[in-house]
Structure 1
Amino acid sequence: MRTTEHFFTVPLDHSSPSGETITVFAREYVSAAHSENQAAGLPWLLFLQGGPGGRGNRFGSLGGWSKAAAKDFRILMLDQRGTGLSTPADRNTLPLRGSAADQAAYLEHFRADSIVADAELIRDALGAGPWTVYGQSYGGFCALTYLSFAPEGLKEVLVTGGLAPLTGPADDVYRATFQRVAARNAEYFGWYPEDRDMVDRIARHLRSTPEFLPDGGPLTVERFQMVGSFLGGNTRVDSLHHLLEDAFTETAEGTRLSDAFLDQVQGIVSRRSNPLYALMHESIYGQGQATGWSAWRVLADYPEFRPDAEPLLLTGEMVYPWYFEQDPALQPLRDVADLLAAKTDWKPLYDVARLGANTVPAAAAVYSDDIYVDRKLSLETASAVRGLQVWETGDFHHDGIADDGEAIFARLLGMARSGGR
């Protein structure tokens, strides 16, 4: 493959184009099977990754969906604003904005509406016509925003595991996902009954013995529950078993959690590399109302997920206020997070009427047992987008494109171009 790096200057606030600017980075990937002249004539595909707060994928080689796409497209991998090589937004840079209120006001411009406006400026800068957009997870949410506010920039849209609810409070999302995560726990422990005992053993150990991650932050029971993020994967779910199998070791001080285990857990539970995920996660459901730490409030209705419960259940991608107390990388941002959770005047992210009149060819994969993006809510959204072709499958979970991305991409592109036939 060949790559080209692009840096773009965009307004912080697209409603004030002459005001402050930030940088957005994107990397172009082209298959070496195409000559440079051939590549210059290929249409563009913009990939919008999951998140929020995740930088664009870094490919060492083309494989899976990118291999399939590179046969016919130039792929543009966006570092969404605040991530990767784009102007950063983290515990080091945000305090430069001033007070917590100033930082929160700055982050209001880091949602899907701003990402889409960035994409349109980038498309114009590249001299591209309407392009194909492929959104995975949160990238699918952004694709719906694109269809709502700038459909003229789109040739076709593909979505995997990312049909957002167009209306309603965040509470609806978490009620659905807590139920799915509980069911996935039961399924997992049915496969690995020995892990049922191991999870409870680790929890009991953490209640009585202080353990610390390599960054110095405490490993509490509630942080340990976050390893349930593995449950959202197809083959990745088996990695949870591998994580648990060497949790304990014998030391001069008695039985403790092993260094190997603690090192792996830190990579799962720390938000050091993607703080925007914790800061902005619930805001992706905020439209005209405060989210108010929705997952934390809804948790009260699901006591089986409490950290003092036994048997202990593992959680999914929910974000809680204690993240900003227990994660050293997030502690400086606690007041900012509270302000964002209390914000009541979030702008709409979708235009329901415009989606109902959509003319852009679009296709989406809905995973029946997805623990992150609920099937029922996804199908409700699909029915509200005119012409959106849906492929529902139980063969994959949320990260399906990591398992068979080539076939999934080819199927969705064919559906979009044939009207679902």
Structure 2
Amino acid sequence: MTSSHHRQQPSYRQPGVVLTDHHFSVPLDHDRPDGEHIELYAREVSATGTDPAGLPWLLYLEGGPGFGARRFTGRQAWLERALTEYRVLLLDQRGTGRSTPANRQTLPLRGTPYQQAEYLAHFRADSIVRDCEAIRPLLTGGAPWTVLGQSFGGFCTTHYLSTAPDALSAALVTGGLPSLDATADTVYAAAFPRIERKNLAHYARYPMDAERARRIAAHLTEHRVELPGGHLLTAEAFQSLGILLGTGDGSHQLHYLLEDAFVPTPTGPALSDAFLEGARSLLSYAGHPLYALVHEAIYAQDPATPTAWAADRIRAGLPRFDVAETLAGDEPLLFGGETIHPWHFTTDPALVPLRETAEILAARTGWQPLYDPARLAANEVPVAAAVYHDDLYVDTGHSLRTARAIRGLRTWVTDEFEHDGVRAGGTRVLDRLLDLVRGDA
């Protein structure tokens, strides 16, 4: 039995909601319940005027990895729908938000880079789900709960269905059905064609951006440019702004960033302070370093095979994404996507001290499979998933194959939203998924 402890703080209010902070102590390694413990934080949200004690729980698992649960104000986005019938738990997954942090400031407390990497090996979906199972009895009295998993939270939900389905009354996934057997190499081999399509769609919408992006990339190859806070803006780092292209308004954000990148100065054109500050806010991993550190590990399922910087190796075989090759010709610059590279750990001050730790994680073997196809094929939990057509971050083909492999899962495939549909779509996405799991749609 896992050893865990719970501390609840007095409730407080925002417009339309009552909030309660929960703190839990859980084992770092759930196979060693008497060993070291870490803290988890979760925020309970209920609607004003309701008795939350009489409502079922809905657990929200944020995307990432490495992001704390979204900080809503009042009844924003899908919360408006959820709070009509649930008390909601917004969990800061281990290492994120107000849970015991894992970053350049705290990880040296673990010891050597090797010891840091061994610590971070406990930050995948398997440990997160066991955290959920440690805290569920403390909140529900042992009753099952509904889980809503966004993006990586959907990966965690799929693991939950593989290992503890009796804990779930329903499972809702948005943009987060993972391949059950793909390696990191397979994931990124499928990703780069999608990334290119998103680029071409952006330039079709904003043809003037093609020359702007080339000009910025050329400037960055000829000048050393530091962002506020010491982040080195290389041409490759500039390409990472393509991560915007997977959200509903991301293409428009990128366009507005590019359109006033240069200003005249006494020594010639220079990148503007406004552009540099905008780029810094988008590129910095200071608020979510775990995203960079364990991103490829979430795809690691073969104990004998390291991830070995899979995205970087795949990209190296694609000259279309090479800045020098692009600038030598006349093709538009291709931005990147949701990919992590070794140079992230040489350009970002939040990651530079963790470079050796990242290298050790990339070389690590012994990763265990995260999903149980046989158990999923026999699934009895009501499951519904929103699958976004040509999702930049999660391959649609992989998601649909997994949907067919999970017994009883119902899909809603749509091109109305991008990857952030559950947030951008207000109440509509959650409402649709609830109708699907209940047989009302």
The equivalent position to 2:424 in structure 1, one of 375, 380, 403, is: 403
2:315 aligns with 299
Q: Can you list the C-alpha shifts for 1:336-366, whole angstroms capped at 9, x where unaligned?
A: 1111111111012111111111110000011
How many residue pairs get aligned? The number is 417
Identity of aligned residues (%): 51
Calculate the TM-score normalised by the size of structure 1: 0.97
Contact map agreement 2:39 2:99 (CA 8 A) in 1 = yes
Shift of 1:242: 1.0
The equivalent position to 2:243 in structure 1, one of 214, 217, 229, is: 229
Moved more, 194-203 or 301-310: 301-310
Shift of 1:369: 1.5
Q: Secondary structure of the residue that 2:188 maps to in structure 1?
A: helix
Instruction: Report whether the alignment pairs 1:27 with 2:43.
Output: yes
Contact map agreement 1:235 1:403 (CA 8 A) in 2 = no
Q: Can you list the C-alpha shifts for 1:10-37, whole angstroms capped at 9, x where unaligned?
A: 00000001110000000011111x33xx
Shift of 1:245: 1.4
Shift of 1:235: 2.2
Shift of 1:228: 0.7
Shift of 1:127: 2.9
Q: Secondary structure of the residue that 2:232 maps to in structure 1?
A: coil
* Amino acid corresponding to residue 195 of structure 2 in structure 1: V
Alignment of 1:318-333 (within 5 A): 318-333=339-354
* Amino acid corresponding to residue 31 of structure 2 in structure 1: S
The equivalent position to 1:379 in structure 2, one of 400, 403, 418, is: 400
Aligned partners of 1:29 and 1:252: how far apart in 2? Answer: 54
Q: Which runs of no fewer than 5 residues in structure 1 stay unpaired?
A: none
The equivalent position to 2:229 in structure 1, one of 208, 212, 215, is: 215
Q: Secondary structure of the residue that 1:338 maps to in structure 2?
A: helix
2:209 aligns with 195
Moved more, 206-215 or 406-415: 206-215
Shift of 1:175: 1.2
Alignment of 1:142-181 (within 5 A): 142-181=156-195
* Amino acid corresponding to residue 53 of structure 2 in structure 1: A
2:386 aligns with 365
The equivalent position to 1:83 in structure 2, one of 96, 100, 112, is: 96
* Amino acid corresponding to residue 383 of structure 1 in structure 2: R
Calculate the TM-score normalised by the size of structure 2: 0.93
Aligned partners of 2:323 and 2:53: how far apart in 1? Answer: 55
* Amino acid corresponding to residue 222 of structure 1 in structure 2: E
Q: Secondary structure of the residue that 2:426 maps to in structure 1?
A: helix
Aligned partners of 1:136 and 1:343: how far apart in 2? Answer: 27
Aligned partners of 2:390 and 2:416: how far apart in 1? Answer: 9
Q: Secondary structure of the residue that 1:193 maps to in structure 2?
A: coil
Runs of 4+ in 1 over 2 A off after TM superposition: none
Q: Can you list the C-alpha shifts for 1:167-189, whole angstroms capped at 9, x where unaligned?
A: 13111111111000101111110
Shift of 1:199: 0.4
Q: Secondary structure of the residue that 2:264 maps to in structure 1?
A: strand
Aligned partners of 1:183 and 1:320: how far apart in 2? Answer: 21
Q: Which runs of no fewer than 5 residues in structure 2 stay unpaired?
A: 1-16
Aligned partners of 1:282 and 1:293: how far apart in 2? Answer: 8
The equivalent position to 1:49 in structure 2, one of 38, 58, 62, is: 62
Cα-Cα RMSD? 1.1
* Amino acid corresponding to residue 315 of structure 1 in structure 2: G
* Amino acid corresponding to residue 41 of structure 2 in structure 1: F
Aligned partners of 1:333 and 1:221: how far apart in 2? Answer: 22
The equivalent position to 1:13 in structure 2, one of 29, 43, 46, is: 29
Shift of 1:252: 2.4
1:265 aligns with 279
Q: Secondary structure of the residue that 2:59 maps to in structure 1?
A: strand
Q: Can you list the C-alpha shifts for 1:244-298, whole angstroms capped at 9, x where unaligned?
A: 1111111222211111111111111111111100000000000122111100111
Shift of 1:368: 1.0
